[in-house]
Chains A and B, each alone.
Chain A
Amino acid sequence: MQKVSHILSQTSFKTGLSPHALRYRKLRDRVVETFLLAAGLVAVFTTLAIVAILLYESSTFFEHVSLKEFLTDTMWTPLFADAHYGILPLVAGTLTTTMVALLVAVPLGTTIAIYLSEFAAHHVRETVKPILELLGAVPTVVYGYFALTMVTPALQWLMPELPGFNMLSAGLVIGLMIVPYVSSVSEDAMRAVPRYMREGSYAMGATRLQTALRVVVPGACSGLAAAFILGISRAVGETMVVAIAAGMQPNLTFDPREPAATITAYIVQVSLGDLPHGSIGYQSIFAAGLVLMLITLIFNVVGFFLTRRFREAY
């Protein structure tokens, strides 16, 4: 015992950890920690800056346009001589393309998730997942080209009266794009369902499909909801596909066969032109952006709490 403490005292002596060096190392740790914290705060500041800029720029817009007009007028023509500032047509366009996208992404994404989580062998899952993720990695402008030059002509072959710009083809392509988001969150949720629940089901004589549909899917319910909601939020914020393939005319309709502008497409349209800083047209894109931000924020927050719930459930 005595020997050990002797050795210890000698080593600490030999490594030269003088109080001075110790203080230096502690100080360095403090400085580094401050820098790291500052980097973490960048995320907080970004969010604050987004909110501040959107509120600041749209506050001047709302001095000019009443909130009532903004929410109830059925026309959106801020750039015309006869200016109307009703956000409804843009919201309608956004919701319509999102609905079409969900009709594609939800069945495909859920099927893939069930297959990967309940049926596929480990190595199949590990190979297929990264390849599927590629669908979400394709640049959106490329998807826009695809919607305009391939999907629309194909749809026109089925429906000859379909116009060249329409929300249907844009929505279909967005749906394809968000399949990997939906499938990966759904799969995570299903894999969080504990093994013993499946085993109980198998023991009762259920097949894999019965177990998947009657035990795993209900068990992963909140996670699946989160997946769909995160998918919605993606589809709402999607810009280039709609800007290219759905046309840029605000149009109050829920018929996906018609052309219409979404909130995002309107922002692109204004940005392409040369609007002077501070004009009402310039401010209108921030008001539109604020609405977009609010819609996606609501979906993201709900999705966030739902995912947290399925992670905690078991």
Chain B
Amino acid sequence: MRAANIASYNNASALRAGLSRRKMFDQIFVIVGLTVMLMCLIVLAILFADLVRDGAPRFGWDFFTNFASRHAERAGILAAWVGTSLVMLVTAVCAVPVGVAAAIYLEEYAPKNWFTAIIEINVTNLAGVPSIVYGLLALGLFVYQFDLGQSIAAAGLTLALLILPIVIVATREAIRSVPNSIREAAYGLGATRWEVTKDHVLPYSTGGVLTGMILGLSRAIGETAPIITIGALSFIAFLPQSPITSEFPFISFKWLHDPFTVMPIQMFNWVSRPDQAFQANAAAAGAILLAMTLLMNGFAIWIRYRFRKKINW
């Protein structure tokens, strides 16, 4: 069989025919690969265009300044975007310091032993836990055990736990890319481990930390399931208490305990209504949500690109 093959290949024209046929398959695959990628991107574009088209009648100032309403034309996302902003604030304040600290520990301090391995496996595993399971954790732990209720604080903490692995992984990657020579130079001058980390490693990893933070928040902003699980209300016609007050000390944290709604919940509520008029509201809210996530992701990519270009080891 093989001998026959070789014999036929000795025939130059047969070889050339076989080669050009095989090269044609190469070309076909290139076209297939490009088509598949283009298809995915076109679907994304269609999705966005569809949301904008369906939601077009709702875009306007009123949509941002009105509360939810029984009348589709008058319903807006005021409570939703205020809620989303406050929840994101809590999430960022909780997740970023803890995530960065955990990443520093794992990269700069942790000895190589079973204990570190357990932490690492946990981080990897948490990244794969379905978001709704975080919701169940929050329902059992934050809402009932810690008695936070269906509040902004409970939602913020839940999403903080959810994005913790994203922040940790991004920060670790950034820290790992700082070359050892920089650490050794600092140690050589007598710096302690923390001084090396704080004055040299961290400043070089700012780009990675920022990227991780933005990617994490862009994930958190669209998360619906865990917030539904803790029981966020979808019909809220009031705002949380203002964080800024007129009397001393001018800052109040009462809003942390207020009920709230967020953009994705508001959108889900509108999608699941049988009344067709509300689909336009859902589309408009979805377009804004999608635009926000895409912008945040684009920003993260840009930051990564900028920092990579700026740093020459």
List the interface of chain A (C-beta within 8 A of B). Answer: 17, 25-26, 28-29, 32-33, 35-44, 46-47, 49-50, 53-54, 56-57, 108, 111-112, 114-116, 119-120, 128, 130-135, 137-146, 148-150, 176, 179, 205, 207-210, 212, 230, 233-234, 236-240, 243-244, 264, 267-268, 271-272, 277, 285-286, 289, 292-293, 296-297, 299-301, 303-304
**B222/A140 in contact, CB under 8 A:** yes
**A139/B290 in contact, CB under 8 A:** yes
**0 or 1 for each of B261-296: is its CB under 8 Å from A? (1 = yes):** 000100110011000000100110010011001100
Q: Is B110 an interface residue (CB 8 A)?
A: yes
**B130/A57 in contact, CB under 8 A:** no
For residue A235, which residue of chain B has the nearest CB? B130
Q: How far is the CA of A29 from the CA of B196 in the complex (A)?
A: 11
In this complex, the member of B47, B133, B289 whose beta carbon has the largest number of chain A beta carbons within 10 angstroms is: B133
Q: Is B29 an interface residue (CB 8 A)?
A: yes
Residue from B25, B123, B130 in contact with A43 in the complex, judged by beta carbons closer than 8 Å: B123
**B36/A112 in contact, CB under 8 A:** yes
**0 or 1 for each of B98-115: is its CB under 8 Å from A? (1 = yes):** 110110111001100000
Chain A contacts for B224, CB-based, 8 A: 139-141, 239-240
Given contacts A132-B40, A138-B293, A272-B228, whether A36 and B105 have CB atoms under 8 Å apart is yes
For residue A245, which residue of chain B has the nearest CB? B271
A150 to chain B, nearest CB (A): 6
**B194/A28 in contact, CB under 8 A:** yes
Given contacts A138-B222, A239-B132, whether A108 and B267 have CB atoms under 8 Å apart is no
Residue from A142, A208, A293 in contact with B286 in the complex, judged by beta carbons closer than 8 Å: A142
In this complex, the member of B104, B122, B136 whose beta carbon has the largest number of chain A beta carbons within 10 angstroms is: B136
Q: Which of B109-128 contact A (CB under 8 A)?
A: 109-110, 118-119, 121-126, 128
Chain B contacts for A41, CB-based, 8 A: 119
Chain B contacts for A35, CB-based, 8 A: 101
**A53/B140 in contact, CB under 8 A:** yes
**A145/B168 in contact, CB under 8 A:** no
Residue from A28, A40, A135, A300 in contact with B105 in the complex, judged by beta carbons closer than 8 Å: A40
For residue B50, which residue of chain A has the nearest CB? A150
Q: How far is the CA of A17 from the CA of B194 in the complex (A)?
A: 17
For residue B25, which residue of chain A has the nearest CB? A209
For residue B168, which residue of chain A has the nearest CB? A43
Q: How far is the CA of A139 from the CA of B289 in the complex (A)?
A: 8
For residue A296, which residue of chain B has the nearest CB? B130
Q: How far is the CA of A232 from the CA of B112 in the complex (A)?
A: 31
Chain B contacts for A108, CB-based, 8 A: 36, 39-40
**B271/A145 in contact, CB under 8 A:** yes
Chain A contacts for B231, CB-based, 8 A: 271
Given contacts A42-B164, A304-B121, whether A264 and B130 have CB atoms under 8 Å apart is yes
Q: How far is the CA of A40 from the CA of B7 in the complex (A)?
A: 65
